[in-house]
Amino acid sequence: MVEFERGSVSRKTMEIVTALLTAGAGLAICYGSWRSGIGWSDMGPEAGYFPFYIGVLVILGSLVTLVRSAFFYQHDGEIFLDSKRARPVLGFFLPVGAFIVVSLLLGLYVGTALYIFGSMKWQGGYRWWVSALAALAVTALFYLVFEIGFQVPLLKGPIEGWLGIY
Amino acid sequence: MLKQITLAMLATIAAAPALAFEPARPVEFVVTSGPGGGTDNFARTVQSIISKHKLMDASIVVTNKGGGSGAEGFVYAAGHKGDPYKLTFGTNNEYLLPSVAAVPYKAEDLTPVAALALDEFLVWVNGESKVDDIKAFVAAAKAEPKAIQFGGSQSKDTDQILVSTIADATGAEFRYIPFKSGGEAAVQLAGGHIDANVNNPNENRGQWQAGMVKPLCVFRPDRFPKSEPVHDGKGWNDIPTCAEAGLAIDSYRMPRTVWLPAGVDEAAVAFYRDVLKKVSETQEWSDYVAKTSQTSQFMAGDDFKAYQTGDRENVRKVLKREGWLVE
Amino acid sequence: MGNFGYLMDGFATVITTHHIVIMVIGVMLGILVGVLPGLGAPNGVSLLLPLTFTMDPISAIILLSCMYWGALFGGSTTSILFNIPGEPSSVATTFDGYPMARNGQATRALTLAFMSAGIGALAGVVMITLLSTWVARFALQFSSPEFFAVYFLAFASFIGMGANAPAKTLVTMMLGFALATVGMDTISGGLRLTFGIPDLIKGVSFLVAVMGLFGIGELLLTTEEGLRFDGIKARVRAVDVLKALKEMPRYGWSILRSTLIGIWMGITPAGPTAASFMSYGLARRFAKDKSQFGKGDPRGIVSPETADHSAGTSALLPMLALGVPGSATAAVMMGGLMIWGMTPGPMLFIERPDFVWGLIASMYLGNVVAVLLVLTTVPLYASILRVPFSIVGPVIVAIIFSGAYQIANSTFDMWLVLGFGVLGYLFKKLDYPIAPLVLAMVLGDKAEDAFRQSMLMSNGSLTIFWSNPLVGGIMALGLLMLAWPVVAKAVGLRGIRRGSATTHSAKL
């Protein structure tokens, strides 16, 4: 076995985790289709017939991957992600999560503006006024294109309400 | 006297908000079909008439939510309880869907505003079919049970319910093949892959013009009004009603309906009802109805409620018989 | 030849300043909706529809159809630059288009894509001009068994045997099928795999999955590799456009083959998405040197683009001649036709030849206008990649999530995109192929519907798939494609030698 530095995940672990994940999805598919009937009636296959076997195949495929990863593994010693590389990934991923949460609370326009401002300021290292200007410009462009131009409404929050924009 | 004055005052108080409701922001037209579907054309026609005649000051945003046979749109509207800015367009699927599928809304989650038109149903066969009237068609079906293939749009929806009703009324047995839309059923019939369909006039008009399909009868209480001939000198008026041609179903039609979420003010309902009433009185509306061979019929309030109750009962009978009812 | 005379009349109607201006406006609006992943051609066209009520029908249809062409081009642009397909039919373009752009050849990739798209579109129009009546009759022969056979063929030609990790390919493909079944089932009228979640009754939108798997997944990989977009320092020069144009003749065979596939799939009508996948699959299968596929092989861009656009244009023929919309966009246009007082269907060619041939003439011109417009703007698009990633990245993220929201005004979809993003990242790092998932998701429910309709027609007998020469022929072709690597080995054809058969979909 290869010693990993602390804080890193081996590829083998991730292979197993992913295989378990897809197997779980397969089980869910089987259960869901079983509820809609999995037989073959005189009207041809029932609603759950195909999805059920699809679920079975997902489970089978996952099991093969699982066994291969656990016992006959070719990528031994490969690292999936270490802490050094995890940082930029999380640095990208977490703000995206925050962006969604903020957008749900305050609307997509405010969310977009804050997210772009934040990313440019703290990740891009731009000066605050450059970031703010860019954020406002992008948001305004979104508003013009979506709301005015194509009349597709984006999610709005309380701030738009105060400003009287619906 | 005093009683009358009190009543009048109460009425004024009750009426005051009714006069007061006026949309203060854009109204969303929720369309329970995909772009290009029958309900979509209905909603967009209403939209264009409202903006052309300036029947409403607020602007209109149309969104298509046709997923799950329209359930997507109704669930969306049901989720906006009390919001007078979500006007939802549909057919009788609003109260039909909850009876046949485990959709996450109830018919009562929406408030009926009005119905504007009734769409008709006809029995169509391939243009080269030897069958020329509904009696011969039924006889052919009886001769060979389950041999005649009826195509239609969706499953357990208006088309299949009608086919089941025909089967019940005549004792014939059919095979029903669901397609994604009436348009697909129309082409399958024109290509001779299925034997018949029960499409709305608009869905088969083009094929009839070319003689690729022909109508046998219409499920209207009376014939279509006189119009230009469509094919071979025959127009809509020449199609017999099914009852007169010997199929004992007096009427089977589909309303074009408009809804608001439950819990909205009576004032808002009244406002949209008036707007829609005005829409139904315009020339553009008559043109749309004539072009699509529907019947303009404005129903609101108790009329509409009574219609719904009747329609629901008829439909539920079929659903129960077929074992499709979901409680 | 009557058609030719009509066409000349059509050109006479269309070549006016007024109509050319309308074309340019339509194409530009179309590119805009095509570039923004949440909008797409059907939305754009339905939005413009009310505007056209007051126009004369010919101008109106020119505006709408040009918007459609523009949207098709716009969809390819984002596929190549950001790995985010703007339209389902441009997914296959990402497989080689995006890698080529990443190698610093964005201009070349875009030019090849646009040019082959233009050729494909023109081929489609020529076919409509010459064969309209015959093709319309041919399309009527297609019923559910034939549709199933065509989808089967599309699958078989894309998914070869001998992938790197068959178990993984199986898993992703089956997940794609499962995702396609979520929501309302057409045949039984019941809900499937919704697990009581209201947001799932509308099904899982293909675009949501693609934006997550491709868009967010790719961004996660990009940040991990520390590769910023500003790593692409290639200069953007107008000369590169000309250079790429010059190499076009080299792909003559690919283009010809893809055109035929596109036209065939357009009129049957299995649609542009199936066409582009099938064309990509065949290009890879018949290539002597497969090593560059998935890494930026030009044939991997030219083939799907040509097929996509020739199918897209040919698909308008069923709409005009039969009154069947071949796509969502065509459905909206058909709604428009009715509002303008016309009935799409076989009689339209006879009753309103001025309109039909005006439209066909505008398809020639509109596509030429579109190609010219996009080609001249290639340097502009390509230079977007030179903007630092810390600006472009967040903007792409914001566009993806507003797009996800717009598809169905659903906040649930935003979380789904994020989930698919993580999945896409995992799959890519662990060598799970994503393309089979996408293909299964696009065609899966259609194939299933067609299969079950066939079963209803035949009373549950599988022999319906061999019941006439047409369906039997397509099925046989599909089986041949599926077994191709084995067959080729047996016959001893070149190109399928030891080892090379394992490259399939491994890098996708």
Q: Give the pLDDT confidence score for residue A128 in this predicted structure.
A: 92
Tell whether C208 is within 8 A of chain A (Cβ): no
Which residue, of B211, B238, B265, is where some domain finishes? B238
Which residue, of B238, B267, B288, is where some domain finishes? B238
pLDDT band, very low/low/confident/very high, at C435 (cuts 50, 70, 90):
confident
Task: Kindly tell me if the per-residue pLDDT of B312 is higher than 60.
Answer: yes
Instruction: Domain of residue B308: give its range.
Output: 26-118+254-322
Query: Is C126 domain-assigned?
Result: yes
Contact between chains at C198 and B75 (C-beta distance less than 8 A)? yes
Query: Is C447 domain-assigned?
Result: yes
For residues B232 and B149, membership in a common domain is answered with yes
Residue B112, CA distances (Å) to B39, B69, B261, B264 in order:
16, 19, 9, 11
Q: Please state, for a pLDDT cut of 90, what percent of chain C lies above it.
A: 21
Q: Give the pLDDT confidence score for residue C154 in this predicted structure.
A: 82
Report which DSSP code applies to C464: G
Q: Which residues of A119-129 are buried (b: 16+ CB within 10 A; e: fewer)?
A: bbbebbebeee
* CA separation for the pair B268, B273 (Å, rounded): 8
The pLDDT tens digits of the residues spanning C75-102 come to 888 888 888 887 778 888 999 999 998 8
Task: Kindly tell me if the per-residue pLDDT of B168 is higher than 90.
Answer: yes
Q: How many domains does chain C have?
A: 1
Contact between chains at C188 and B155 (C-beta distance less than 8 A)? yes
The pLDDT tens digits of the residues spanning B212-257 come to 999 999 999 999 998 889 888 999 999 999 999 999 999 999 999 9
**Interface with chain A: mutation pick from C47, C179, C193, highest number of A CBs within 10 Å:** C193
Q: In this complex, which of C198, C324, C408 lies closest to B187 when CB atoms are compared?
A: C324
Q: Give the pLDDT confidence score for residue B82 in this predicted structure.
A: 92
Helices (H) and strands (E) in chain C, counts: 23, 2
For the residues of A54-75, what is the DSSP string, one character each? HHHHHHHHHHHHHHHHHHS-SS
Query: How wide is the angle at C-alpha B314 spanned by C-alphas B309 and B318, nearest 5°?
Result: 140
What is the rounded average pLDDT for all residues in chain C?
Answer: 83
Task: Kindly tell me if the per-residue pLDDT of B69 is higher than 60.
Answer: yes
Higher pLDDT, A143 or C387: A143
Which residue, of B174, B208, B238, is where some domain finishes? B238
Mean pLDDT of C221-244: 68
Contact between chains at B180 and C409 (C-beta distance less than 8 A)? no
Sequence-distant (≥ 6) Cβ neighbours of residue C176 within 8 angstroms: C436, C437, C438, C439, C440, C441, C444
Q: In this complex, which of C39, C175, C405 lies closest to A22 when CB atoms are compared?
A: C175
pLDDT band, very low/low/confident/very high, at C295 (cuts 50, 70, 90):
confident
Distance from CA of C394 to the nearest CA of A (A): 6
- Neighbouring chains to C with at least 3 Cβ pairs closer than 8 Å: A, B
Q: Closest residue of C to A121, CA-based?
A: C390
| B and C: number of Cβ contacts within 8 A | 157
Element at C191 (helix H, strand E): strand C191-192
CATH number for position B313 = 3.40.190.150
The pLDDT tens digits of the residues spanning C156-199 come to 877 754 456 788 888 999 999 999 999 888 888 888 888 888 88
Contact between chains at A151 and B61 (C-beta distance less than 8 A)? yes
Q: Give the pLDDT confidence score for residue C235 in this predicted structure.
A: 57
Query: Is C436 domain-assigned?
Result: yes
Q: In this complex, which of C224, C414, C432 lies closest to A89 when CB atoms are compared?
A: C224
Task: Kindly tell me if the per-residue pLDDT of C461 is higher than 50.
Answer: yes
Q: Give the pLDDT confidence score for residue A166 in this predicted structure.
A: 65
Q: How many domains does chain B have?
A: 2
Q: Give the pLDDT confidence score for residue C145 in this predicted structure.
A: 93
For residues B155 and B188, membership in a common domain is answered with yes
Helices (H) and strands (E) in chain A, counts: 6, 4
Instruction: Domain of residue C431: give its range.
Output: 2-499
Mean pLDDT of C129-144: 80
C432 contacts on A by Cβ (under 8 Å) = 18
Query: Is B21 domain-assigned?
Result: no
Phi then psi for B31, rounded to 5 degrees? -100, 120
For residues B178 and B114, membership in a common domain is answered with no
**Interface with chain B: mutation pick from C64, C208, C347, highest number of B CBs within 10 Å:** C347
Contact residues of A toward B, CB < 8 A: 151-153, 166
Query: Is B6 domain-assigned?
Result: no
Query: Is B16 domain-assigned?
Result: no
Give the tokens for residue C201.
Answer: 């009754």
For residues B136 and B231, membership in a common domain is answered with yes
Q: Give the pLDDT confidence score for residue C163 in this predicted structure.
A: 53
Query: Is B71 domain-assigned?
Result: yes
Task: Kindly tell me if the per-residue pLDDT of C501 is higher than 50.
Answer: no
For the residues of C376-437, what is the DSSP string, one character each? HHHHHHHHHTTS-HHHHHHHHHHHHHHHHHHHHT-SHHHHHHHHHHHHHHHHHHTT--SHHH
Query: Is B109 domain-assigned?
Result: yes
For residues B196 and B131, membership in a common domain is answered with yes
A166 contacts on B by Cβ (under 8 Å) = 25-26
Task: Kindly tell me if the per-residue pLDDT of B165 is higher than 80.
Answer: yes
Find out whether C30 and C392 touch, Cβ atoms under 8 Å: no
Query: Is C508 domain-assigned?
Result: no
Task: Kindly tell me if the per-residue pLDDT of B198 is higher than 90.
Answer: yes
Q: Give the pLDDT confidence score for residue C434 in this predicted structure.
A: 84
For residues B61 and B92, membership in a common domain is answered with yes
Q: Give the pLDDT confidence score for residue C35 in this predicted structure.
A: 78
Query: Is B222 domain-assigned?
Result: yes
The pLDDT tens digits of the residues spanning A52-111 come to 999 999 999 999 999 988 888 777 778 888 888 888 889 889 999 999 999 999 999 999
The pLDDT tens digits of the residues spanning C390-420 come to 888 888 899 889 888 888 888 999 999 999 9
For residues B104 and B82, membership in a common domain is answered with yes
Q: Give the pLDDT confidence score for residue C2 in this predicted structure.
A: 67
What is the rounded average pLDDT for all residues in chain A?
Answer: 86
Q: In this complex, which of A33, A62, A116 lies closest to C395 when CB atoms are compared?
A: A116
For residues B307 and B260, membership in a common domain is answered with yes
The pLDDT tens digits of the residues spanning C475-496 come to 998 898 888 777 777 766 544 4
C406 contacts on B by Cβ (under 8 Å) = none
Mean pLDDT of A124-153: 87
Q: Give the pLDDT confidence score for residue C201 in this predicted structure.
A: 86
Contact between chains at B26 and A166 (C-beta distance less than 8 A)? yes
Q: Give the pLDDT confidence score for residue B7 in this predicted structure.
A: 55
Q: Give the pLDDT confidence score for residue B113 in this predicted structure.
A: 96
Contact between chains at B180 and C186 (C-beta distance less than 8 A)? yes
Contact between chains at C195 and A32 (C-beta distance less than 8 A)? yes
Task: Kindly tell me if the per-residue pLDDT of B18 is higher than 50.
Answer: no
- In terms of Cα–Cα distance, which of C36, C67, C37 is closest to C49? C67
Phi then psi for B105, rounded to 5 degrees? -150, 160
Q: What is the pTM of this model?
A: 0.84
ipTM above 0.90, yes or no: yes
Q: How many CB atoms lie within 10 A of CB B225?
A: 11
Tell whether B110 is within 8 A of chain C (Cβ): no
Contact between chains at A65 and C193 (C-beta distance less than 8 A)? no
Mean pLDDT of C211-226: 84
Higher pLDDT, B145 or B183: B145
For residues B112 and B160, membership in a common domain is answered with no
* CA separation for the pair C499, C390 (Å, rounded): 41
Task: Kindly tell me if the per-residue pLDDT of A27 is higher than 80.
Answer: yes
Q: Give the pLDDT confidence score for residue C393 in this predicted structure.
A: 84
Higher pLDDT, C346 or C424: C424
Task: Kindly tell me if the per-residue pLDDT of B16 is higher than 80.
Answer: no
Query: Is C89 domain-assigned?
Result: yes
Query: Is C507 domain-assigned?
Result: no
What is the rounded average pLDDT for all residues in chain B?
Answer: 89
Mean pLDDT of A124-151: 88
For residues B229 and B317, membership in a common domain is answered with no
Find out whether B169 and B161 touch, Cβ atoms under 8 Å: no
For residues B228 and B262, membership in a common domain is answered with no
Mean pLDDT of C302-323: 85
User: Rounded to a whole number, what is the distance in angstroms from the first to the last CA of chain A?
Assistant: 61
Query: Is B11 domain-assigned?
Result: no
